[in-house]
Amino acid sequence: MNQKQEPDKENDKQKNEFFRLMARYSPVVMLMPASALAGYLIGYGLDYLFSATFLRFVFLILGVVSGIVQLIRILGRDA
């Protein structure tokens, strides 16, 4: 009977590890699009405020760069 319980415990450990990794890395999926969108929206607002045309692209690039930096921080923390 013990031999049958051992694979169940191993299977439970694998399931728990899967859910732990999903909880850790699921925010990474939305990190890049959210950073780019936030940068674009800030740039769009400043374009509207100052009647400019280039700020949305500058802040879009800054948003992408900030997303990459955060991605490196998150993945580097686990290495």
In contact, 39 and 63? CB cutoff 8 Å:
yes
In contact, 30 and 74? CB cutoff 8 Å:
no
Q: For residue range 16-39, what is the model confidence (pLDDT) as tens digits?
A: 888 888 888 888 889 999 999 999
pTM, two decimals, is 0.74
Write out the DSSP string of 18-64.
HHHHHHHHHHHHHHHHHHHHHHHHHHHHHHHHHT-SSHHHHHHHHHH
The vertex-72 CA angle with 59 and 18, nearest 5°, equals 120
What pLDDT is recorded for position 21? Answer: 84
